[in-house]
Amino acid sequence: MLKIGVLVSGGGTNLQAIMDAIDAQGIPAEIVSVVSSNPNAYALERAKNKGIEAVTMRKRDYADAKAYDLALAEHFKSRGVGLVVLAGFMTILGEDFVNAFENKIMNIHPALIPSFCGDGFYGLHVHEAVLEKGVKLTGATVHFVSPITDGGPIILQKAVEVMDDDTPEILQKRVMEQAEWKIFPEAIRLFAEGKLEVVGNKVRIKR
C-alpha cells in the first residue's frame, strides 16, 4: 500500500478531495502525515478529523532553506512515504527535498502550464492574471515537481471555461470544482497503481 505525505498551507479542499477519493474509489494508498507551513491552515483540521497525523513545520523555524528541506525529507522518510503531494503548499521547496523524492512529488497548479505559472503565480494571483489577460480557457495541471518552479513533467491537465463576468474568486471555485478536485485524485490513483512512467521530461500513462 502506497504511503502518502501531504504538504498544505491553506484551506485544504484538495486534501479533502484526495481523502474522499481514497475512500470512495478504493485507491490503494494511505495518507500517513499532513504537514502544514501555516499553523492556522484549516487543512490541519481536515486531517485530524480523519485521524491522520497533522503537524506544522514552518521555514522560519529552521536555520535556512536547506535545513527546512532536509527536515521535511527526514519527516516523510521516517514515515515510509512513497509519494509526497503538494496540495496548496505555498512554500518553494529546494533541491535537497526534490532530490530526496525524485519523481515522487506531485503538485497541483491552478492553470494550464506553461501558461500562468512560475514564481509569483500561486493561489488567487493565478486567476487574477488569467482574467487580466482575457484568455477564454484556463484549467489545472498536476505535475511532478522538479527544481524548476512548475517546470516538472506534466501528468494530467483539464481545461475550464472563463466567463465574462468572472471574479478571481468565482473562477478559482470553478477551476477547483471542475478540474483540481478531479485530476489530482486521478493522478494519485494512476501513481498508486504503477501506471505513470517518466520518460525524460514527459509522463507516459499506461492505460
Q: Which residues bind ligand GAR (CB under 6 A)?
A: 10-14, 43, 87-88, 108-110, 122-123, 126, 176, 180
**Closest residue to ligand GAR using C-beta atoms:** 88
Cβ nearer to ligand GAR, comparing 97 with 122: 122
SS3 187: helix
DSSP structural state of residue 179:
I
Q: Look at residues 146, 144, 149, 159 and name the one whose alpha carbon lies nearest to residue 203.
A: 144
Shortest Cβ distance from residue 86 to ligand GAR (Å)?
7
SS3 64: coil
Q: Please tell me which residue in 75, 109, 125, 143 is annotated as part of the active site.
A: 109
Shortest Cβ distance from residue 10 to ligand GAR (Å)?
4
Cα maximum dimension of the chain: 49
DSSP string, 131-163: HHHT-SEEEEEEEE--SSTT-SPEEEEEEEEPP
Shortest Cβ distance from residue 194 to ligand GAR (Å)?
25
Cβ nearer to ligand GAR, comparing 20 with 197: 20
Is residue 125 part of the annotated active site? The answer reads no
Catalytic residues: 109
